[in-house]
Amino acid sequence: HHARIAKEAKRTVKDALARKEWSTAMSSLVQLVELFPEKEKYRSMLDQVARKITKLATTLKADGKHAEALAELDAIPPHYQSGSYREERSELEDLLFLRKLVAASPFAEPVVGAALDRLRAITPHDEKVHLLAGRFNKVRATRPTLGYHIYPAWMKGLPGIFSQAITPSCLPSDLP
């Protein structure tokens, strides 16, 4: 039974590596490491694939595909996660959280400004984040408080523009 599983896992790894499907290779390599803990070859391959997945996630993040990058990182089991994995994952979780916070905040509250400042720090080359922060700061500086709301609306009537402005991949479809 183990021989059949091992043979299938080896074939899957070989095919997945040839196609550069790192997540598929990872799951089969985990099986091989568990079946043959004494074989350093499988552990070494697993470490290499984990680095490839982390690198792919970094590329996806740079392209504004944050949810996809996070999904790739999910393929790495906890006991094979490196320091660079944890850094990437933490930054991606921050990005997604901050984007959700900003998208759900129609009023120019201080927390929105802080979230936009953090987004600019994490994604310094994202011109759309800079434009949003500029709009937020302008509204915050020039509009008086209105009615029951302490803070002025800064997105009113512009949710479509706002949602497409946050990253090239569009905010709503990219959020899990």
CB 93 within 8 A of CB 119: no
Looking at residue 32, its pLDDT comes to 94
Looking at residue 153, its pLDDT comes to 67
CB 105 within 8 A of CB 132: no
Q: How far is CA 116 from the centre of its chain?
A: 17
Q: Which amino acid is at 10?
A: K
Classify residue 144 by its DSSP letter.
P
Averaged in consecutive runs of 10 residues, what is the pLDDT profile of the chain (176 residues)?
Answer: 89 94 94 93 94 92 87 90 88 88 82 91 85 86 60 56 40 38
pTM above 0.95, yes or no: no
Looking at residue 154, its pLDDT comes to 65
Looking at residue 128, its pLDDT comes to 81
User: Distance (Å, rounded) from C-alpha 154 to C-alpha 95?
Assistant: 21
* Backbone torsions φ then ψ of 78, nearest 5 degrees: -50, -45
Looking at residue 114, its pLDDT comes to 92
Instruction: Give the DSSP letter string of 33-68.
Output: HHH-TT-HHHHHHHHHHHHHHHHHHHHHHHTT-HHH
* Backbone torsions φ then ψ of 39, nearest 5 degrees: -90, 105
Q: How far is CA 93 from the centre of its chain?
A: 6
Looking at residue 167, its pLDDT comes to 40
